[in-house]
Every structure is written in structure tokens, then in C-alpha cells.
Amino acid sequence: MTVIVRFAPSPTGKIHVGNVRAALWNWLFARSRGGKFILRIDDTDQERSTKENEDRIRADLLWLGLNWDETFSQSSRFADYEQVSAALRAKGLLYPCYETAEDLERKRRLQRTRGLPPVYDRAALALSDAQKKAFEAEGRRPHWRFKLSQRPVKWHDLIRGETVVDTASVSDPVLIREDGMYLYTLPSCIDDIDAKITHVIRGEDHVTNAGVQIEIMKAVIDVRGAGKLPEFAHHSLLIGADGLGLSKRLGSLSIEQMREDGLEPAAITSLLAKLGTAEPVAPQPDIMALAQSFDFEKVGRAPARFDEADLLALNAKILHQLPYSALEERLAALGVTEALWEAVKGNVTKLADAADWKAVAYGAIDPVIEDQEFAAQAAALVPDDPLSEQSWGAFVERVKQKTGTKGKALFHPLRLALTGREKGPEMAALFPLIGAARARARLKGERA
Ligand code: GLU
């Protein structure tokens, strides 16, 4: 069996760490099985969907390395949705309802006061043709509900194991609104069957939907005369480091924001691939290697904790691991040379931090001088250019001899004077980049 999966974002907003995890897992699963990854744009809601959001989603996915083999938008498939819904109407599986939003709210209130679950009472099924005509004559347009079996639907979820949704406990879903707009459910079921999707991988907020969708998919297979139910894998949702859900903060956790913040795509994919699995999170610049180790067997059911601090730590490790050639273009844009990068890469969290060290190496900084006499003595001992990796050791040795200081008392004031900072890259690597003239000037307390 060829694996065919889909990621199906609605272009009503940006993608963020929460929903991109589903994209990544679909992609990893497809790639691990030599399968197909389809990007489907769920844009039946034409009021809230925008081309701009769609373009952004595509750009974000490509930036992460999640390329697709096929893509289509639901808005190109209305003829198919019309065809299937006509057949479902003919079978009595899609029925017209004329309640207004207020009518439905009133019914739910009544159910609540009686301690009943707020499930739609199917009153519309009892409407006579004459009553329907009367509503139509009043100018009312129907919305259309799918008639569920009201029996338990069971499936073996690849993450959750045996799963049951009793469709007697859910309302018959509205598939088409009174203005004719298709809600996501029916188009999704038709597309999944027509595109021969083998696995639906998504967040567990869709578990109840799955029960309903399995019934609708069966009806679609019947109408189409062919097709097969996909398997399902519903993963747990992410929570924040504080243990709370991420929903309120998702705006700041968008992939676009992370890209603008200068994070590496590999840091994001390394983290999201392993969060919630039995495997440790580790920096993995090669996304195909993540695919090779992907397996639903390793995925747990507990909510996975997303901590931005982990993401930053991974980002630093990824940068450390990547060869200069992989970063050359971006570093060149920052004016950072290979020598400088090699000297400072152990001290950067984000690539752009290298530009700060560039300023330390070549720009003008305010040196921090704690002991003027000591610094002046050191200034006189700076060897002449060109400085090499060995120059630092020789220089420090001379300062030690001359001033009688050693250990931290020796190194710390030199670093403060030469870099203006408490901490940083190995001075042996930085010293030749700073050069003799700037080193002397800084040790004399001059801005250089
Ligand atoms: N457009 C739906 C969503 O974003 C897709 C859900 C699914 O994967 O079926 O929630």
C-alpha cells in the first residue's frame, strides 16, 4: 500500500507550533514510507479564507523543509461536493433544517435545565413537505444536517489505540449552511476518499469529528462506488512550559514569527518531531534523518510540553553543528567571515548574534577597565600584527610575568577590556580578529 497523507490547513490565519506539528508528522510519515504528502487548502469558508494566508502557509512549510507532492484547494472542488451532497440528499442522509440560531439556542437551554446533553433533537426530520414549503415561502433557507447512525463508531487509532465515539451522543452535524456554504466536514470527507488518503494524522481535538467523519466517509464511498476508509492517528496537543494550553499564545508562536526571530527551521523540526514521543529531543539538521526514525509506536498519549527555552537551546546546537558552507550566504549578508564564525559560533543562540560578535571583533566598543595600571601594562605587551591563535597564550604569559597576577584576576580584566563583556568566545580565537592596534587602544580605555 502506498501511503498518502494530507495536511489540511484552513487559510484563515497563520500556522504555528500547534498545527505545524500535524504537518510535520504527516510529512515525516509519508517520507519514512516513500509515500505521498498532499497539501490541501481548506478554503470553503470564503469569507475568512485569504490568498495572503494561503501564500504564507506555503512559504512557512517550504521554509521548514516540508515540501508537498501535490496540492489543491477545496474551492476548486465545489462541483464534486454538489454531486455527492445531491446523492446524500436523495438517500435521505442529508436533511434540511429550518431552525434559526435562536431556535437552536432555546432548545439547548431547555435541555440544559432538564439535565440533558445539548444534542440536536432531529425535529426537522418530522417536518412534512407542506411545512417545509411554508418555511421556504417565508423566505427561509434550510441548513443541511447529516443523519448519523446513533451507534458507536470504533476504530483502532494508531496513537490512541481502540477508540469509540458514540454518534448517539453528538448532534447530527450541519454540513451545509443556509447560505450554501460548505462547512469543513463534508468536503474533507469527500476529499479524503477521492484522494485515496490512507492515513489521517492530526490533533486529538478532532477525535469526536473522526467518529462522525467515518460515518460520512462510508456514505461517500457508497455514493462514489469505490474508496476505502483511511486509518487515523490523533496526537495529543501541546501545552506550555507552565502546563497550560497554548491556544492563547499561538499568535506569538507562529512559524512566521519564529522565522522573523531568526530561528533555524531545523531547530523547530527537531523539537516538534520528538515532543510527545519516547525518543529524546536532539538537534538534527537533516530532516530526512527525522523521517527515518519516525514511528507511531513511539508516540505517547500524554500532552507534550513545548518550552521556548528548549527551542533556543536546540537552535544554538544546530548552529554549532552546521558546516559553515550551509550558513555562508546568510553569514555573508551579516558581514561575518568564516574565521569570525568559527571563533564565535559556540557563543551564539541565533545566527544574528554573530553580528554582535562582529562588532566586538571589528567595530567600536566601550572597553571596561577595572584597573587602569594593570590595563596600561597589558597594552604595552600586546604583540605586533599579524596575531595568530598562539599570540593570546604568549601575551597572557607576558602580562602574568609583568603584573604578577594569575587565574581569574588575570583573564577577567583582559576580557572585559578587550571585549567589553563578561563572557564570550575563546579569547585565543578572538584576539587575532581584534588585532594589535584595537587591542592596545581598548586596553588604554579608548573606544575602538
Ligand atoms: N482544516 C481542518 C483544520 O485545520 C483540517 C482538519 C483535518 O485534518 O481533518 O482543523
Tell me the CA–centroid distance for residue 295 and ligand 1, in Å.
22
Taking residues 242-253, report their average pLDDT. 83
Q: Which residues line ligand 1 (CB under 6 A)?
A: 8-10, 42, 184, 188, 202, 206
pLDDT at 247: 80
Tell me the CA–centroid distance for residue 86 and ligand 1, in Å.
24
Model confidence over 53-88: pLDDT tens digits?
999 999 999 999 999 999 999 999 999 999 999 999
Tell me the pLDDT of the chain averaged across its residues: 96
Looking at per-residue confidence, does 323 or 233 come out higher? 233
Which residue has the least CA distance to atom 4 on ligand 1?
9
Model confidence over 28-47: pLDDT tens digits?
999 999 999 999 999 999 99
Mutation probe of ligand 1 site: the residue of 202, 207, 232 with most atoms within 8 A of C-beta: 202
Those residues with Cβ within 8 angstroms of residue 238's Cβ, 6 or more apart along the chain or in another chain: 17, 18, 21, 246, 275, 276, 303, 304, 305, 306
- Per-residue pLDDT band for 249 (boundaries 50, 70, 90) equals confident
Tell me the CA–centroid distance for residue 288 and ligand 1, in Å.
25
- Per-residue pLDDT band for 184 (boundaries 50, 70, 90) equals very high
159 DSSP 8-state letter? T
Model confidence over 163-172: pLDDT tens digits?
999 999 999 9
Model confidence over 285-329: pLDDT tens digits?
999 999 999 999 999 999 999 999 999 999 999 999 999 999 999
Looking at the predicted structure, is the pLDDT value of residue 177 above 90? yes
Tell me the CA–centroid distance for residue 308 and ligand 1, in Å.
25
Tell me the CA–centroid distance for residue 10 and ligand 1, in Å.
7
Alpha carbon separation from 33 to 39, 136, 146, 168, 199 (Å, rounded)? 17, 52, 35, 37, 12
The domain spans of the chain are 324-361, 364-443
Neighbours of 398 (CB within 10 A): 16
Taking residues 392-397, report their average pLDDT. 98
Looking at per-residue confidence, does 401 or 252 come out higher? 401
Looking at the predicted structure, is the pLDDT value of residue 6 above 80? yes
Those residues with Cβ within 8 angstroms of residue 269's Cβ, 6 or more apart along the chain or in another chain: 24, 64, 65, 284, 287, 290
Which residue has the least CA distance to atom 10 on ligand 1?
9
Tell me the CA–centroid distance for residue 8 and ligand 1, in Å.
5
Q: What is the residue-wise DSSP string for 29-50?
A: HHHHTT-EEEEEE----TTT--
What sections of 157-307 are H helices per DSSP? 185-194, 207-224, 255-260, 265-274, 287-292
Tell me the CA–centroid distance for residue 6 and ligand 1, in Å.
10
Which overall architecture, per CATH, does domain 364-443 show?
Answer: Orthogonal Bundle (1.10)
Q: Give 250's Cβ-side CA count (13 Å radius).
A: 16
Which residue has the least CA distance to atom 7 on ligand 1?
8
Atom of ligand 1 nearest to the CA of 10: 1
Mutation probe of ligand 1 site: the residue of 15, 61, 188, 247 with most atoms within 8 A of C-beta: 188
Strand partners, 6: 38
Strand partners, 96: 144
pLDDT at 248: 77
